[in-house]
Amino acid sequence: MTSFKPVSVVLRNDYIQSTEDSIDKIFQDLLNACRSGDLERVESLVRNYSAPINKTDFWQCSPLYLACLCGHYKVVTFLLENGARCERDTFEGERCLYGALTSEIKQLLLDYKFSKAVDESQPYFKFLTLLYDQPLDTFSDVVFKLSSYEEIHAHRCILYIRSKFFANKLETIWRDHDVIEVLEPQWHPTCFRGILRYLYTSEIVAITKDLETQMISLCQHFELDSLTERYTENQISKKEVQVLDKLESQELRKDFEKFFKNNLLSKKYMKDDETSSNVTSSNNILNSRELQGFTQADICIQIEQEIFPCHKAFLTKRSEYFNVIITGPFAESQHKDTIYYENRRIPKITISDYCTPEIFALILEFIYTDKCDIPPNLSYQVLIEADKFLLDRLKSLASIILTNQSEPIEDIYTLMRAALDLNVDRLEQWCSRWFAEHIEEVLEDQRFLELIRESAHSIYKREETDSLPIIDDIRFWLSKKYGVLDNLDKNGRVNEDEESFTWEIEYNRILERIDKVLEQLELDA
Could you report the per-residue pLDDT of 2-11, keeping only the tens digit for each?
Answer: 332 333 333 3
Q: What's the confidence (pLDDT) of residue 497?
A: 63
Which positions ≥6 away from 459 have C-beta within 8 Å? 466, 468
For residue 397, CA distances in Å to 28, 374, 484, 517 come to 18, 8, 33, 35
Per mean pLDDT, which range of 18-32, 170-184, 291-305 is the poorest?
Answer: 18-32
Q: What's the confidence (pLDDT) of residue 57?
A: 85
More confident: 89 or 52: 52
Band of pLDDT at residue 276, cut at 50, 70 and 90: very low
Asked if residue 456 has pLDDT above 50, the reply is yes
pTM: 0.74
Q: What's the confidence (pLDDT) of residue 332?
A: 58
Asked if residue 498 has pLDDT above 60, the reply is no
Band of pLDDT at residue 118, cut at 50, 70 and 90: very low
Asked if residue 440 has pLDDT above 70, the reply is yes
Distance CA 303, CA 388 (A): 15
Distance CA 265, CA 256 (A): 12
* Residues 109 and 100: beta-carbon distance below 8 Å: yes
Q: What's the confidence (pLDDT) of residue 15?
A: 36
Q: What's the confidence (pLDDT) of residue 89?
A: 55
Asked if residue 205 has pLDDT above 80, the reply is yes
Q: What share of the chain is helix, strand, coil (3-state, %, to 5)?
A: 55, 5, 40
First-to-last alpha carbon distance for the chain, in angstroms, is 64
Positive/negative CA dihedral, 481, 487, 490, 491: negative
Asked if residue 96 has pLDDT above 50, the reply is yes
Q: What's the confidence (pLDDT) of residue 280?
A: 38
Q: What's the confidence (pLDDT) of residue 134?
A: 92
Asked if residue 288 has pLDDT above 80, the reply is no
Dump strand ranges (E) for 149-218.
151-154, 179-181
Per mean pLDDT, which range of 101-105, 384-388, 481-485 is the poorest?
Answer: 481-485
Asked if residue 281 has pLDDT above 50, the reply is no
Band of pLDDT at residue 441, cut at 50, 70 and 90: very high
Q: What's the confidence (pLDDT) of residue 19?
A: 44
Q: What's the confidence (pLDDT) of residue 220?
A: 95
Among 80-89, 302-311, 324-333, top mean pLDDT goes to 302-311
Band of pLDDT at residue 334, cut at 50, 70 and 90: low
Q: What's the confidence (pLDDT) of residue 265?
A: 84
Distance CA 417, CA 11 (A): 28
**Nearest Cα residue to 68 out of 103, 27, 41, 120:** 103
Distance CA 490, CA 493 (A): 7
- 3-class DSSP assignment, residue 467: coil
* Residues 451 and 518: beta-carbon distance below 8 Å: no
**Nearest Cα residue to 129 out of 299, 258, 317, 260:** 317
More confident: 34 or 486: 34
Q: What's the confidence (pLDDT) of residue 147?
A: 80
Q: What's the confidence (pLDDT) of residue 293?
A: 61
Query: What is the tens place of the pLDDT at every residue in 410-428?
Result: 999 999 999 999 999 999 9
* For residues 398-417, average pLDDT: 94
CA 473 to chain centre: 28
Q: What's the confidence (pLDDT) of residue 524?
A: 66
Average pLDDT, the chain: 82
Q: What length does the chain have?
A: 525
Query: What is the tens place of the pLDDT at every residue in 154-176?
Result: 999 999 999 999 999 999 999 98
Question: In which order are the strands placed within the sheet that holds 306-310?
Answer: 270-271, 306-310, 299-303, 344-351, 338-341
Q: What's the confidence (pLDDT) of residue 241?
A: 81
Q: Enumerate long-range contacts of 505-510, CB under 8 Å, 24 or more apart.
A: 506/482, 507/478, 507/479, 507/482, 510/439, 510/440, 510/478
How many CA atoms within 13 Å lie on the side-chain side of 210? 2
Asked if residue 269 has pLDDT above 60, the reply is no
Q: What's the confidence (pLDDT) of residue 36?
A: 94
Domains of the chain (ranges plus CATH)? 20-111 (1.25.40.20), 122-242 (3.30.710.10), 270-375 (3.30.710.10), 412-520 (no CATH)
Band of pLDDT at residue 333, cut at 50, 70 and 90: low
